[in-house]
Structure 1
Amino acid sequence: MESNRYDEEGRPRAEDLLFIARRDENKATEGMLTVYLGYAAGVGKTYSMLEDSLQRKREGKDVVIGYIETHDRPETNALVENFEVIPTLSIEHQNLSLREIDLDAVILRHPQIVLIDELAHTNAPGSRHVKRYQDIEELLQAGISVYTTVNIQHIESQNDAVAQIIGIRVSEIVPDAFLSNADEIRLIDVTPEELNLRLKAGKVYVKDMAEAAVQSFFRTGNLLALRQLALRYMAESTDKKMIGYMRTRAIPGPWPAAERLLVCIRPGPTAEHMVRAAYRLATRFDADLIVFSVDVNDERALSPQERSWINQALETGRRLGGKIVRYRGNDVADEILRYARRSNVSMIMLGKPHGLDIFSSPVYRVIRQSHGIDVHLYEPKGKSIYIPLKKQIPLFFTAEYVISLVIIAAVVGINFFLREYIGPSNLLIIQLIPVLVSAFFFRRRVALFTAGLSILIFDFLFVEPYYTFTIHDWEYFIAFVGYITIAFIISNLATRLRHLLPQILKSEAEVEATSGLSRELVEAKTQQDIFKTLANQMHNFGPGLFAVLTPSPSGLQIGAGDTDYPLHDKEKAIAQWAYENGQIAGAGTDNLPAGKGYYIPIKTHRMIFGIMAFTFDKPDEALIPENKEIFETMAFLGALALELL
């Protein structure tokens, strides 16, 4: 019989107590390890370590420097002057003089805290240890506490991810086991924009090196990805400490470290209300919000009102900071569950089914199959929403069935005409045509319906004895089984193809809009080149007029794009408001929506460079939430490129 997590309620197991006792025994004689973690050079790891150490010194602690790399940064050099520095060893290797920690001198001096920069460093040949973290292990065992620094790319578990991001595999790495024993990991974080400003100001590298670094390593995409890795690593480290805390207090768990809420909406008058309710729930649980919609049929099958409902709900979710996901598929429940499992969703919000809809709603399938995921059912507040009876009754007999019946009737007529000239085996092949057509073009249940009906009709009309369902020749029975199998296989393949193609085309459009734009922005040499690049990319989202508006003494003017853009007084006033307030405005927004154009500021957190102006011929089709996210990404990438000039 498997033992319970706890022998008695409120008391930890003996193994947990033994683990705690051994850990405390080791820590009683060892020094404390504090690691300052960053995602790139220049975020301020060494400076923060020195500042904290200066505070420890003011508190009466004995603090010395065992090894420091200031890179001649004036502010860092000024802090170093406050500490005793133990001279480093000088080791000659291939006509180079390499500085390394003098371990014996540090141990002999035996301070309470020693500062050692660049944890991932590989020691010079002939040193006592191959790696610097091994030097630190010896100091910790000697009872000396250590403050040290490291970047995320040097942690062993992150090595593959970093190589994929920057295209270079980092050779100097630190084992995760070493960092897991750290008493404290402090994340030193700045935005990529602030880091690039430091780089330009010469606070990270000298000018020539800084320019080369921006072109190679310090690209915004690289920095964003590395920063995300550092934040995730820090979250995982915190989660491990939380589990340790739980073990010492016999708290059953585990506690979830992060939550992700998936709200599933469909076209209807309550869709937007449901998104807002999901946002409130996500805020309460401190969860990430994902707004998810599945288009079961072709989007053109939706009425204008239904399209308005779904787009408005998605736009509300995007405005509230949620991630927008829109799929096409034949089975709503399958799509919800597939996405939830793949995206590590912890909660799902669904609309509560009403009326006769409860018999066909995907809600119950999601509830039954969403193992390990909390499910919340949303009920509209206030006056109940009237649902027409035809919306409650599942529509099984659709146009697809009618078309299949017409094709079956046509093939039966052809076989009646040919049965005097060809044998039953060839007639059976002709009878397969409706099955193939419906399996390829229609839903699975339509294909199976067509296959079954075709079998019955063929058996009744063309297999002896005629006009009965009796089968004397079992070869026909095998053929009939083949009918069903072929219909099922082709329908599955066709369904997957119909589902994947729109997603692939959408992904290609998004990738081209962002990666293609990024490539062109890198090659741009002047502000005007960047404006022209943005204007050219804006034409890819539908027919209309597009321009980049730039500031001038007389107000905004057309800097690139279509010179006949309708920038009359009303549109110019809306664009000017967007520029002055740094907010999106115009058609399809909550800010001055009476305008015809859609205006996005080209801005970073520091300044605004201009406005991207869109006037689509069919704004309802172009200004959908997915496209708006792409537009904002384009504007942000353009602003970053302008800031780096």
Structure 2
Amino acid sequence: MEPDRYEEEGRPRAEDLLFIARRDEKKAKEGRLTVYLGYAAGVGKTYSMLQDALQRQREGKDVVIGYIETHDRPDTNALVDSFEIIPTVSIKHQNLSLRELDIDAVIRRHPQIVLVDELAHTNAPGSRHVKRYQDVEELLQAGISVYTTVNIQHIESQNDAVAQIIGIRVSEIVPDTFFSDADEIRLIDVTPEELNIRLRAGKVYIKDMAEAAVQRFFRTGNLLALRQLALRYMAESTNKRMIGYMRTRAIPGPWPTTERLLVCIRSGPTAEHMIRAAYRLATRFDADLIVFSVDIDDDRALSSQEHAWLNQALETGRRLGGRIVRYRGNDVAEEIIRYARRSNVSMIMLGKPHGLDVIFSPVYRVIRKSHGIDIHLYEPKGNSAYIPLQQQIPLFFTVEYVISFILTIATAGVNLLLREVVGSSNLLIIQLFPVLVSSFFFRRRVALFTAALSILIFDFLFVKPYYTFTIDDVQYFIAFVGYAAIALIISSLATRIRHLLPQIWQSEVEVETTSGLSRGLVEAKTRQEVFEILADQMHNFAPGVFAVLIPGSSGLQIGAGDGVYPLNDKEKAIAQWAYDNGQIAGHGTDNLPAGKGYYIPLKTHRMIFGIMAFAFDKPEEALIPENKEIFETMAFLGALALERL
């Protein structure tokens, strides 16, 4: 490989400089994010945050508290008294009054620094955002710097490892992409022995809870493992920052080559955990992450729970910055190898087969054929979900088998009526009919079952000596082998067609949408033409009403699309928030999810031009991860055209 010209000349790479320029331009408009990271409650995150904030205040900075949890610790309470506190907002839920950060009050006050404790907190139902970290993102976009606290168990990529350590899965998590934008991460660390001393002294929880907490969560082994996770995460974060610093200043490497990790998932309870493990591996190797799924059976064969598992896993991969690729195919192993070769994948992660899946799994075929590609086998951590034996064994008494059985028996009955009239060679051709039907309409194993059943019935009823399975004429044996070969060939071709057609149709929609949109946008002469082109393309995905919203004198209004779009006060407020903050909002998101519509800003690096508004009749079917990526691509292409005009 030839050395990079920029490295030879001792200059930074052009793409690195472009990244720095864009990041600096973005940071110039946003506040700075400082995260105080710990491995357990009581290590001193909140106290350290308050101490640093007090020092900033003494330096003349305008510092306020937006939300704080002191847990009635005297030393922490004493520090809190030194700051102005923005009153929290009270939200009623199930006869309870829940205290939440008042985002609007903080933005109106607009301090230089605001303290927001408990970053991973889930907001009360009816809040603007589902998670508090999204509140923090809005404050940062408003130009307010934020100090916040979080424990290692709440970082999404560490969730599975923590569950294995403490035996409890933490539900409140923050995506790793949030921390990648942090200006500073400060590790607050004490030894497990010191933490247990604090606990027993009542400095972590109230004293009557201390012993129970020590027995469950605060065991020394747990704390050591959690501390190791926090230290390792901090080391990896520091290493990435150092590599970025050295690259932009052309400091000699050596630099790792670009790696691509392909994580192959299927619907199941561990799919999401596997993607998190793949993300950790990709981070360690500085690799691009690709989430790959192959649909073998018809989607109708998946239960609602299996659909939910798969979509949730794909959404997690998308949220962690991975590229989503979903194929239909007849052979999982072949599809994985074909895509890996074509996309220059350097690593493949596969699920480790268990039970009877060892016999049917395509994992070993991928291993044999993946020359030059590293293979990583994923083993679920902790107590993985048990798969019942009846789910591991292929089910033979499905509707397909019943239909094939009845058709084979009926054909044999017709042949019995014709046995004295038609020659045995013609009877053999007639008996081939159910094999052809099963091969074309059903799965391969159903076709082979039908072929075997037809052979046995024909041999028993129509080959002399009758009513035995003896074959005296070798020609019949050759014919029976041909039966099986025909069933296998036709079934393979028909199955591939059945699986490829939906993929081709989906690809046609995607290609037509992007190419048609691109052609139309290039030819557009006015902004109104761009809006109308976007609105027209939005109808290609699923039934519903769609519109492009543009700013007007009285707020957002319909600029193109369906005039009957339900832009009531609630939907208008959600769309306006998406426009003001440049973030996707509405149904299927964590930003104002109570709305009916799905709103994507038409934004470029410099400005926002409007909102693409989707109100699907069946949003759960339309708002899948693959479609969301297409919608965002459409919005970006439209915004580029608007910027050009």
Q: 1:608 to 1:282 in 2, by over 3 A?
A: same
1:46 maps to: none
2:363 maps to: 363
- Partner of 2:420: helix, strand, or coil? coil
**d(CA) in 2 for partners of 1:323, 1:275:** 12
- Partner of 1:294: helix, strand, or coil? strand
Q: 1:362 to 1:256 in 2, by over 3 A?
A: farther
**Are 2:296 and 2:499, in contact at CA under 8 Å, matched by a contact in 1?**
no
1:582 maps to: 582
Residue 643 of structure 1: how far off its partner (Å): 0.7
1:191 maps to: none
**Are 2:601 and 2:610, in contact at CA under 8 Å, matched by a contact in 1?**
yes
Aligned length: 407
**d(CA) in 2 for partners of 1:530, 1:395:** 53
**d(CA) in 2 for partners of 1:641, 1:627:** 21
**d(CA) in 2 for partners of 1:256, 1:489:** 46
Of 318-327 and 378-387, the range deviating more from structure 2:
378-387
**d(CA) in 2 for partners of 1:518, 1:276:** 35
Q: Give matches, 1:340-419, under 5 Å.
A: 340-419=340-419
2:57 maps to: none
Between Structure 1 and Structure 2, whose CA radius of gyration is higher?
1
Letter in 2 for 1:565: Y
What stretches of structure 2 of length at least 5 have no aligned partner?
1-6, 19-246, 248-252
Q: Does 1:619 align with 2:619?
A: yes
**d(CA) in 2 for partners of 1:578, 1:301:** 37
1:435 maps to: 435
- Partner of 1:559: helix, strand, or coil? strand
**d(CA) in 2 for partners of 1:389, 1:373:** 33
Residue 423 of structure 1: how far off its partner (Å): 1.4
**d(CA) in 2 for partners of 1:382, 1:480:** 50
Q: TM-score, normalised by structure 1?
A: 0.59
Residue 586 of structure 1: how far off its partner (Å): 1.1
- Partner of 1:422: helix, strand, or coil? coil
**Are 1:330 and 1:443, in contact at CA under 8 Å, matched by a contact in 2?**
no
Q: Deviations over 1:73-107 (max 9, x none)?
A: xxxxxxxxxxxxxxxxxxxxxxxxxxxxxxxxxxx
Q: Deviations over 1:592-617 (max 9, x none)?
A: 22211110000110100000000100
Q: 1:383 to 1:39 in 2, by over 3 A?
A: closer
2:124 maps to: none
**d(CA) in 2 for partners of 1:525, 1:446:** 57
Residue 477 of structure 1: how far off its partner (Å): 2.6
Q: 1:358 to 1:435 in 2, by over 3 A?
A: same
Q: Give matches, 1:237-386, under 5 Å.
A: 257-386=257-386
**d(CA) in 1 for partners of 2:391, 2:340:** 27
**d(CA) in 2 for partners of 1:515, 1:35:** 40
Residue 337 of structure 1: how far off its partner (Å): 2.6
Of 350-359 and 521-530, the range deviating more from structure 2:
350-359
- Partner of 2:614: helix, strand, or coil? strand
**d(CA) in 1 for partners of 2:500, 2:384:** 37
2:454 maps to: 454
- Partner of 2:274: helix, strand, or coil? helix
**d(CA) in 2 for partners of 1:457, 1:384:** 45
Of 399-408 and 469-478, the range deviating more from structure 2:
469-478
1:482 maps to: 482
Q: Does 1:567 align with 2:567?
A: yes
1:556 maps to: 556
What stretches of structure 1 of length at least 5 have no aligned partner?
1-31, 44-237, 239-244, 247-254
**d(CA) in 1 for partners of 2:13, 2:525:** 31
Over aligned residues, Cα RMSD in angstroms? 2.9
**d(CA) in 2 for partners of 1:559, 1:300:** 38
Q: Deviations over 1:267-289 (max 9, x none)?
A: 22222222122112111111111
- Partner of 1:291: helix, strand, or coil? strand
Letter in 2 for 1:533: I
- Partner of 1:464: helix, strand, or coil? coil
Residue 561 of structure 1: how far off its partner (Å): 0.9
2:72 maps to: none
Q: Deviations over 1:290-317 (max 9, x none)?
A: 1111112111221222112211211221
Letter in 2 for 1:515: S
Q: 1:363 to 1:33 in 2, by over 3 A?
A: closer
Q: 1:281 to 1:515 in 2, by over 3 A?
A: same
Q: Deviations over 1:311-332 (max 9, x none)?
A: 1211221222211111122332
Q: 1:274 to 1:338 in 2, by over 3 A?
A: same
1:603 maps to: 603
Q: 1:338 to 1:396 in 2, by over 3 A?
A: farther
1:178 maps to: none
Q: Deviations over 1:136-178 (max 9, x none)?
A: xxxxxxxxxxxxxxxxxxxxxxxxxxxxxxxxxxxxxxxxxxx
Residue 397 of structure 1: how far off its partner (Å): 4.6
2:543 maps to: 543
**d(CA) in 1 for partners of 2:604, 2:350:** 37
Q: TM-score, normalised by structure 2?
A: 0.59
Higher relative contact order (CA 8 A, sep 6+): 2
Q: Give matches, 1:132-147, under 5 Å.
A: none
**Are 1:267 and 1:309, in contact at CA under 8 Å, matched by a contact in 2?**
yes
Residue 35 of structure 1: how far off its partner (Å): 12
Residue 623 of structure 1: how far off its partner (Å): 0.7
**d(CA) in 2 for partners of 1:422, 1:539:** 58
Residue 383 of structure 1: how far off its partner (Å): 4.3
**Are 1:436 and 1:490, in contact at CA under 8 Å, matched by a contact in 2?**
yes
**Are 1:587 and 1:597, in contact at CA under 8 Å, matched by a contact in 2?**
yes
**Are 1:317 and 1:323, in contact at CA under 8 Å, matched by a contact in 2?**
yes
Letter in 2 for 1:399: V
2:51 maps to: none
2:53 maps to: none
**Are 2:330 and 2:496, in contact at CA under 8 Å, matched by a contact in 1?**
no
**d(CA) in 2 for partners of 1:33, 1:371:** 33
Residue 580 of structure 1: how far off its partner (Å): 1.1
Residue 388 of structure 1: how far off its partner (Å): 3.1
Letter in 2 for 1:325: V
2:444 maps to: 444
**Are 1:545 and 1:616, in contact at CA under 8 Å, matched by a contact in 2?**
yes
Q: 1:39 to 1:439 in 2, by over 3 A?
A: farther
Letter in 2 for 1:556: L
Letter in 2 for 1:552: G
| Identity rate, percent | 78
Q: 1:420 to 1:367 in 2, by over 3 A?
A: same
**d(CA) in 2 for partners of 1:352, 1:589:** 32
